Amino acid sequence: MSPVPAKTNTEDYIRMYTQMVRIRAFEDNANQLYLSAKMPGLTHMYSGQEAVAVGMCEALEDSDKITSTHRGHGHCVAKGADFQQMFCELLGKEEGYCRGKGGSMHIADQSHGNLGANAIVGGSMGIATGAALTAKRLGKDDVTVCFFGDGATAQGLWYEVMNMAALWKLPVIYACENNGYSEYTKTHEIAAGSLTARAEAFGMEAFNVNGQDVLAVNALTQKLVARCRMGEGPFFIELKTYRYHGHHVGDINREYYRSKDEEAHWKSEHDPITNFGEWMLSEGIVNEDELGTISDAVMADAEAAVAYALDAKYPNEAEVDMHVFAPNA
């Protein structure tokens, strides 16, 4: 693993570990809900990419903002959301973060600064940049992290907002989770040249980091967040990572675009949770029992939340035309 970061202590490590385990557990449960036909629609699993969301969000305060994607559960958990409201949302229940109106692809948690998942690939790049503009204009300290995938880099919107962010020195970090695929297509088939060079061409500093190494991600993000707060933003980070599941839960037979060997290799060699756990063990930060306790607690938490959400009530029919317009004072 990478050198010890600035914000260094056992509590932080354990929290990062726990948050990664929480994401994995959330996704495993969501997948089960899908497989058992208890979840409406489809969903996109974040499993495998946990170190990205956690490494970055742990470098943020609650008042900092993030924007997320269709593959957004990880960002949501990492930014502080609780399981119960998340599962309720995934099941379309009234107690969900969005009263069941958004679902997996629109989950938002403004109480922790998560401005929402987005079902338009690249659709939140403007939103993130606008949030950063608010911070600058109102003289706030907030930094915004804009998460998106390698596939999203093909959207022209990114270049438009990078240009403005660079011209206006906005406190925004564009974080490209390069998991090697957009849907069923490999990145190199849809991305010419270099992603970091694209950001650099706008006069932005750009970084590459191993997205499976939570400490490396966290260290870099801490540095860049601090620099953003000093007015040195924007920045771009490309994080190399991997998604374990199919593009969405229904993408089962995928050998035509991705080999089982490749998947097995990433899981056995580059799992962000296993590797970080082993590092903590080897550094004597935790012992096996403690790791087991964390996992058990998280699993129990997830199961309880799922059970709660399954029993929770759907929104009232009268809600259907509520919230089209916000009331005026």
Partner 1 sequence: MREITLSKAVNEAIAEEMRRDETVFLLGEDVAEAGTPFKILSGLVEEFGTERIIDTPIAEPGFMGIAVGAAMTGTRPIVDLMFGDFLFLVMDQLCNQAAKTHYMSGGKLNVPLVLRTNLGATRRSAAQHSQSLHALVAHIPGLKVALPSSAYEAKGLLKSAIRDNNPVVIFEDKLMYQDKAEVPEEEYLIPFGVANIKRPGTDITLVATSSMVQVAEKAAGILNSDGISAEIIDPRTIVPLDEETILNSVRKTSRAMVIDEGHQSYGVTAEIASRINERAFYHLDAPVIRMGAMDVPVPFSPALEDLTVPTPEGVAHNARKLVRGELVHAA
Ligand X SMILES: Cc1ncc(C[n+]2csc(CCOP(=O)(O)OP(=O)(O)O)c2C)c(N)n1
- Count of other CB atoms within 10 angstroms of residue 167: 11
Which residue type occupies 76?
C
Among 179, 218, 221, 222, the residue binding Mg ion under the rule CB under 5 A is 179
Q: In 17-139, where do the E strands start and end?
A: 65-67
Among 1, 14, 154, 201, the residue binding partner 1 under the rule CB under 8 A is 154
**Quick check: 327 binds partner 1 (CB under 8 A)?**
yes
The candidate with the shortest Cα–Cα distance to 157, out of 146, 170, 143, is: 146
Residues in the interface with its own copies (CB under 8 A) total 24
Q: Which does 194 bind (CB under 5 to 8 A by kind): its own copies, ligand X, Mg ion, none?
A: its own copies
Nearer to partner 1, 42 or 285 (CB): 42
Near partner 1 in 46-105, by CB under 8 A: 65, 67, 92-93, 96-105
> Footprint of ligand X on this chain (CB under 6 A)?
70-71, 119-121, 148-152, 179, 181-183, 247
Compute the least distance from the CB of residue 294 to its own copies, in Å.
42
Tell me which DSSP letter residue 109 carries.
B
CA distance 13 to 24: 17
CA distance 289 to 273: 16
Q: Which does 193 bind (CB under 5 to 8 A by kind): Mg ion, its own copies, ligand X, none?
A: its own copies
- ∠ at Cα 195 (191, 198), nearest 5°? 110
**Residue 308 neighbours by CB under 8 Å, 6+ apart:** 84, 87, 88
**Quick check: 190 binds its own copies (CB under 8 A)?**
yes
Near partner 1 in 194-253, by CB under 8 A: none
Only segment of 157-165, 225-233, 250-258, 301-309 that touches its own copies (CB under 8 A): 157-165
Phi-psi region of 323 (alpha: psi -120 to 50; beta: other; left: phi over 0): left
Nearer to Mg ion, 85 or 179 (CB): 179
Binding residues (CB under 8 A) for its own copies: these are 154-160, 162-163, 166-167, 189-194, 197-198, 200-204
